[in-house]
Amino acid sequence: MTYFGCTSLGLCAIIKVNSGKETKSKFCFRVCVCVAFTNSYDAQPHTEKRCWYGVVREVGKRILPARLQKPHRKEEIMKFEQLQKDMMTAMKARDKVRKDAISALVSAAKKVAIDEGCRDNITEEIVDRVILKEVKSVKEQLDACPDSREDLKQEYQARYDIFQEYAPKMMSAEEIEAFITEKFADVAAQKNKGLIMKTVMPELKGKADGSVINQVVAKLCQ
């Protein structure tokens, strides 16, 4: 039997702002939440399953600004902080090429975080995604650069090498094949390339190069 309930949540937060002296401002608001919970007396006698905690947590995630939500663990944002430190080190060393390359990664990561509503919590996943995108972009520039522009080739190559220092390790062809045959054995057995690619790509995104995945899947379909 399913029941429906309605509750009003009072949420408040305190923001501290330092501008010469500390000031405090408070705000609070109330939210009305409709909750469904189930009494499963047939399956589990005398047990009432409720989902209050999950609902309250989800409401908080949707209505609270990102800066008021629980921040990510320190290790999750360490990679972005490392980029910032390395950028400052390059700047102090007057290494313009390295400083510009790392600065491009920092700026791109900030932009993605702002677009996704988490500007104060730039996770390693965001940084890795940005780095892979920048690596792909500069690789395309390097490949398309004419041989007569040796200066540009050197610039692109230097930037590519720096990006690669921070890029996440990609799975090898052997690792991809083992992953597919172990986790998606039933799908792989059908030897349908389109179906296999559709199934495995979400799992391998950011972990393996798309062209390598395509080659492995083509091999499995032979």
Domain boundary assignment for the chain: 2-64, 74-166, 173-220
pLDDT given for residue 47 in this prediction: 40
Helix (H, G, I), strand (E, B) or coil at 124: helix
Which among 208, 179, 210 has a CA at the least distance from the CA of 188?
179
Which among 86, 84, 104 has a CA at the least distance from the CA of 95?
86
**How many C-beta atoms surround the C-beta of residue 140 within 10 A?**
11
Q: pTM score, two decimals?
A: 0.55
CB 66 within 8 A of CB 35: no
Class of domain 74-166: mainly alpha
C-alpha to C-alpha distance for 210 and 173, rounded to whole angstroms = 11
pLDDT of 12 > 50? The answer is no
In terms of pLDDT, which residue wins out, 57 or 115?
A: 115
Winning range, highest mean pLDDT, from 25-29, 71-75, 176-180: 176-180
CB 193 within 8 A of CB 218: yes
User: What average pLDDT does this structure show over 10-26?
Assistant: 43
Using pLDDT thresholds of 50, 70 and 90, give the confidence band for residue 77.
low
pLDDT given for residue 50 in this prediction: 41
Report pLDDT digits (tens) over 175-187.
Answer: 999 999 999 999 9
Question: Position of tokens 């995604």?
Answer: 129
Strand partners for 16:
24
pLDDT of 138 > 80? The answer is yes
Average pLDDT of the chain is 75
Strand ranges in the chain using DSSP code E only, listed in sequence order = 2-19, 21-39, 48-49
Helix (H, G, I), strand (E, B) or coil at 134: helix
Question: Position of tokens 């409709």?
Answer: 34
pLDDT given for residue 208 in this prediction: 86
pLDDT of 101 > 80? The answer is yes
Share of the chain above pLDDT 90, in %: 50
Sheet holding 2-19, edge to edge: 2-19, 21-39, 48-49
How many Cα atoms are found within 13 Å in the side-chain-facing hemisphere of 204? 27
pLDDT given for residue 53 in this prediction: 42
CB 166 within 8 A of CB 83: yes
Report pLDDT digits (tens) over 104-121.
Answer: 999 999 999 999 998 888
What six digits make up the tokens of 164? 């690669």
C-alpha to C-alpha distance for 49 and 108, rounded to whole angstroms = 45
Class of domain 173-220: mainly alpha
pLDDT given for residue 109 in this prediction: 95
pLDDT given for residue 209 in this prediction: 84
